[in-house]
Amino acid sequence: MMSMLVVAAIVAAVALGYKTKINIGLFAIAFAYLIGCFGMGLSPSEIINMWPLKIFFVIFSVCLFYSFATVNGTLEKLAEHLIYHCRTVPQLLPFAVFFAATVISAMGAGYYTVLAFMAPITLLLCQRTGMSLIVGGMAVNYGALSGANFVSSQSGIIFRGLMTNAGVSDNDAFINAFGIFVSTLVIPLIVIAAFVFLAGHGKALKASAFAATRPESLNSQQKTTLWLTLTMMAIVLAAPVAHIALPDNATITFINSKMDIGLIASIFSVIALLLKLGDERKAMASVPWGTLIMICGVGMLISVAIKAGTIDILASWIGSSIPPVLVPVVFGIVAAFMSLFSSTLGVVTPALFPMVLPISTSLGLDPMILFIAIVAGAQATSISPFSSGGSLILGSCTSEQSRSTLFPQLLFKAAPIGFVAALIFNLLLTFVL
């Protein structure tokens, strides 16, 4: 009975947030308090302790540091240079857009920030070069998603935090997060390649010629920001990679145990401020506070669900009712459906990740397969015009005519193709791993 009540509360929080445009996390906190204290007899301090403090701190620290590169224009300038250098091979322009979005997003800009400044650039390139709107839209959208999934970028950090909260070791969480990044990099590349080389889009691009104005060089402040960002990424990645390569080395094990991306990012934020790489107030304002509240609020409600045994019941039902080979596909479908109405980071992954270990243990599946299936499925439909990503792309159209042309292409072509590609990938992954 209590499990059903918690599930109803999760659905209600999402529905109320969707309807009222109020942060879902705030509704989740209210439901966690009411159900936990008055329905399950938990104390208020127990409910407050369910706030995922580590995830909150890591996301805040990393986003604060990366916001300097956004505030002082480093990432936008870098995107312009990457696309400019593709002017001599126009048929490869979709891949240039994809990789530019991936790199900029991986360097900390995050999904929405990259779409905000790269979608208008991409759609303008579509007009100048003959690149179809659907190919351009898919390239910038899935590139931004893939880059954000990198292990040291915003989404990748959230995934790692959710995994460790669900009982996965730090080392395995790093490996699983890297698997998610590679998978969400490969799937859209295959889809874009099919459009360019099999559907005739490449020939149209090759026949076109477009003039690109050389962007201005990075100024000294932006160059410093770029090197500082690359240095932090190298430090964050070096220790876990070395530990995976040499797990028995005592020195590397010790260093890796002392590494924390949130604390490292805090140090680099201080360095950025001392070097005057950006305004502190603007950098602080760029932190995605709404996303933080949503993730942590829903995390509290999910913790109540775990306490009530809801996650174990759902995991047991899936493990006993669905053939093991289809479990990743089912997870992908459920995640894709959920993401149509809610956030992948704030709702879908916090709700589904806790089920992975119980199900993978009972069915003998590699947990990485299920983690990848959830994220790939959830992000496949992100280009729908009803989602935040698709709506940002539509909003970047320069005319009402191009907007009305792109809307049905995103809804009836891009989103279904991305969804089917993710499901096929999830099915193949089951046999490969």
- pLDDT value, residue 259: 86
Do 248 and 274 lie in one domain? The reply is yes
Do 213 and 145 lie in one domain? The reply is yes
Do 174 and 207 lie in one domain? The reply is yes
Do 307 and 403 lie in one domain? The reply is no
Beta-carbon contacts of residue 28 (< 8 Å; ≥ 6 apart): 9, 10, 13, 294, 297, 298, 300, 301
Do 347 and 398 lie in one domain? The reply is yes
Residue 274, domain extent: 53-287+329-432
Do 97 and 2 lie in one domain? The reply is no
- pLDDT value, residue 317: 76
Do 232 and 101 lie in one domain? The reply is yes
- pLDDT value, residue 260: 85
Q: Token digits for 118? A: 């790269």
Q: What is the mean pLDDT of each run of 10 residues along the chain (433 residues)?
A: 84 87 91 94 93 86 86 82 71 85 83 78 74 85 92 89 90 93 93 79 55 79 92 86 86 88 92 93 87 86 86 75 86 84 79 90 89 92 75 72 80 86 87 72
Do 227 and 316 lie in one domain? The reply is no
- pLDDT value, residue 272: 95
Do 220 and 181 lie in one domain? The reply is yes
Secondary structure class of 387 (helix, strand, coil): coil
DSSP state of 200: S
Query: Which of 267, 298, 321 is the endpoint of a domain?
Result: 321
- pLDDT value, residue 290: 84
- pLDDT value, residue 281: 92
Beta-carbon contacts of residue 328 (< 8 Å; ≥ 6 apart): 365, 369, 370, 372, 373, 426, 427, 429, 430
- pLDDT value, residue 339: 78
Q: Token digits for 280? A: 């502190």
Q: What share of the chain is helix, strand, coil (3-state, %, to 5)?
A: 80, 0, 20
d(CA 248, CA 28): 43
Per DSSP, the residues of 308-357 read HTHHHHHHHHHHHHS-GGGHHHHHHHHHHHHHTTS-IIIIIHHHHHHHHH
User: What sign does the CA torsion over 253, 367, 189, 348 have?
Assistant: negative
Do 197 and 178 lie in one domain? The reply is yes
Do 275 and 292 lie in one domain? The reply is no
Q: How many CB atoms lie within 10 A of CB 130?
A: 18
- pLDDT value, residue 204: 56
Q: Token digits for 272? A: 């950025």
Q: How many CB atoms lie within 10 A of CB 5?
A: 17
- pLDDT value, residue 398: 64
Of 155, 91, 87, give the one whose Cα is nearest residue 349.
155
Do 140 and 7 lie in one domain? The reply is no
- pLDDT value, residue 19: 85
Query: Which of 299, 321, 343 is the endpoint of a domain?
Result: 321
> Is residue 205 a contact partner of residue 129, using CB atoms and an 8 Å limit?
yes
d(CA 418, CA 196): 15
Domain count, the chain: 2
Length of the chain: 433
- pLDDT value, residue 159: 94
Q: Token digits for 213? A: 């104005």
In terms of phi and psi (left: phi > 0; alpha: psi -120 to 50; beta: otherwise), the region of 41 is: left
> Is residue 27 a contact partner of residue 13, using CB atoms and an 8 Å limit?
yes
- pLDDT value, residue 207: 53
> Is residue 108 a contact partner of residue 228, using CB atoms and an 8 Å limit?
no
- pLDDT value, residue 288: 81
